Chain A
Amino acid sequence: MPLQNKTAASQGLVMCTLCEKVNQVQLNKCQRCGSHLYQRKPFAIQKTVAWLITAILFYFPANLFPVMETSSFGHSTYSTIVGGVIDLWKHGAYIIATVIFLASVVIPIGKILVLAWLCISLRLKHQSHFKQRTFLYTVTHWIGRWSMVDVFVVAILVALLQLGGLMTVYPGFGTLSFALVVITTMLAAESFDPRLIWDKQS
């Protein structure tokens, strides 16, 4: 039931981003929940880019430093994210290896690339692929939290594998960096405003 394809902005209306109520744009605060009203999220692109840069900076130590250290009979082995996936694959745990690979390699890189492209396309004022870009954003926003799987796997191994000299697992700096990558990419997706894609720039 579109009203002649009018946008809320063109009618002087704005949606509260928290409680979804339709408000008049002159009001500063939402009439229902009292949140601040913004026509568009303030500094959306700048904030998204800033979080993305932070995420990229953390992504390198996340992959270069070990996520955990396994010490067994006085002998220590270190494993990185990619190393862990390869180990799982060699042991024949194909499904789990794929899940971890998707969650800790494909999704974070994909998220960073998608959000970066969305920001660039807004800067270059692309006037195409509106639906596809919106869809990519929705998926990116939804899938972000699932990257945390690897951090939780380390958490469980650290908590459970405490068998003294027989086998003990310690967390590594890579885990912290990776958790920060997940959090910063989630914040980047949160700062972005998909409505900017549809705003006609003239």
Chain B
Amino acid sequence: MGTPNKMDELIICSHCDLLLKRPALNHQEIARCPRCQSVLRDRPKSSLPYSLSFSVACLFLMACALYFPILAIEKAGTSHIMYLFQASWGFLEHGYPLLFTIVSSVLFVVPVLILLILIYLLFPMLILKRVWPASLLLSKVLFQLKAWSMIDVFLIATLASLTKLTSIANIEFGLGLWAYLLFAIFLAAALANLNSARFWDYLEKVQCHCKIKQQHHKV
């Protein structure tokens, strides 16, 4: 134990530090730690290519969700249309810049960054079989940002506020709301298919291939 080659055959449980042999998993199988029962490794049906395609779709849907109004309200002749970006803008207008920063980070900045980084990393890795500059740094950023996207939470909040609102006034759903709904589902799918163990293994493999190719060119 301890030599670099043998170390690739090992994994460590992130919850209890137990040393284990790397399990061989079939599709949709999950390996759990025998000591603390937390998930060690999982294997979604088709991991990284799905993640890439969902991310591309997400970018288009997010553009639609931002461009079209998501909700419209009408009461006694007065009406108001709401766009997605206004969800955080209202806080800034009413004197809560910190709240504006928090909400726009978890709703717009983080998800968009995640999507852009995912495409920047996965497109060359999967299709061109090479890596673009700063991939390592961006991968690290990606896995740290992952927990801070709250698009799915906002979806539940939309449903909650709709039931609150329908008793007060007439509510109309805009095209943006449907785009947003799909966006939330697709982003969840993109992240669910982003298996961190597979991603890092694959990144390492592609980097290795690139180095070998370069050496061949030099010879």
CA A146 – CA B89 in complex, angstroms? Answer: 21
The answer to whether A149 and B157 touch (CB under 8 A), given A5-B18, A138-B38, is yes
Chain A, range 135-156, C-beta contacts under 8 Å to B: 135, 137-138, 145-146, 148-153, 155-156
CB-CB contacts of B126-160 with A at 8 A, as 1s and 0s?
Answer: 00000000001001100110011010011011111
B165 at the A interface (CB under 8 A): yes
Contact present for B87 and A197 (CB under 8 Å): no
Contact present for B19 and A3 (CB under 8 Å): yes
Chain B, range 175-219, C-beta contacts under 8 Å to A: 196-197, 200, 204
Contact present for A20 and B200 (CB under 8 Å): yes
Total interface residues on A, using CB and 8 Å?
A: 71
CB-CB contacts of B166-181 with A at 8 A, as 1s and 0s?
Answer: 0111000000000000
Chain B, range 73-107, C-beta contacts under 8 Å to A: 73, 75-76, 78-80, 82, 86-91, 94, 96, 98-99, 102-103, 106-107
A residues within 8 A CB of B36? 130-131, 134, 194, 198
Q: How far is the CB of A132 from chain B (nearest CB, A)?
A: 10
Q: How far is the CB of A184 from chain B (nearest CB, A)?
A: 12
B residues within 8 A CB of A167? 75, 168-169
CB-CB contacts of A121-132 with B at 8 A, as 1s and 0s?
Answer: 000000000110
Contact present for B18 and A158 (CB under 8 Å): no
Contact present for B165 and A158 (CB under 8 Å): no
Contact present for A151 and B103 (CB under 8 Å): yes
B116 at the A interface (CB under 8 A): no
The answer to whether A3 and B91 touch (CB under 8 A), given A19-B143, A149-B157, is no
Contact present for B161 and A19 (CB under 8 Å): no
A residues within 8 A CB of B102? 151, 179, 183
B109 at the A interface (CB under 8 A): no
Contact present for A195 and B16 (CB under 8 Å): yes
Q: Which of A2, A156, A160 contacts B20 (CB 8 A)?
A: A2
Contact present for B80 and A197 (CB under 8 Å): no
CB-CB contacts of A91-120 with B at 8 A, as 1s and 0s?
Answer: 101011001100000000000000000000
Shortest Cβ-Cβ A-B pairs, 4 listed: A152-B157, A158-B90, A15-B12, A198-B16
Given contacts A8-B19, A22-B8, 19 further A-B contacts (CB under 8 A): A5-B35, A7-B19, A20-B12, A20-B14, A22-B12, A32-B204, A33-B139, A96-B163, A131-B37, A148-B150, A152-B153, A155-B90, A158-B94, A160-B71, A160-B80, A160-B82, A166-B78, A171-B91, A175-B96
Q: List 28 A-B contacts (CB under 8 A).
A: A1-B20, A3-B20, A6-B18, A15-B14, A18-B143, A19-B139, A19-B143, A20-B14, A20-B197, A33-B136, A91-B167, A93-B163, A99-B160, A130-B35, A131-B37, A145-B148, A151-B157, A152-B87, A152-B154, A152-B158, A153-B157, A155-B87, A159-B90, A167-B169, A171-B94, A179-B102, A194-B36, A198-B16
A residues neighboring B (CB under 8 Å): 1-3, 5-9, 11-15, 17-24, 32-35, 88, 91, 93, 95-96, 99-100, 130-131, 134-135, 137-138, 145-146, 148-153, 155-164, 166-167, 170-171, 175-176, 179, 183, 186, 190, 194-195, 197-199
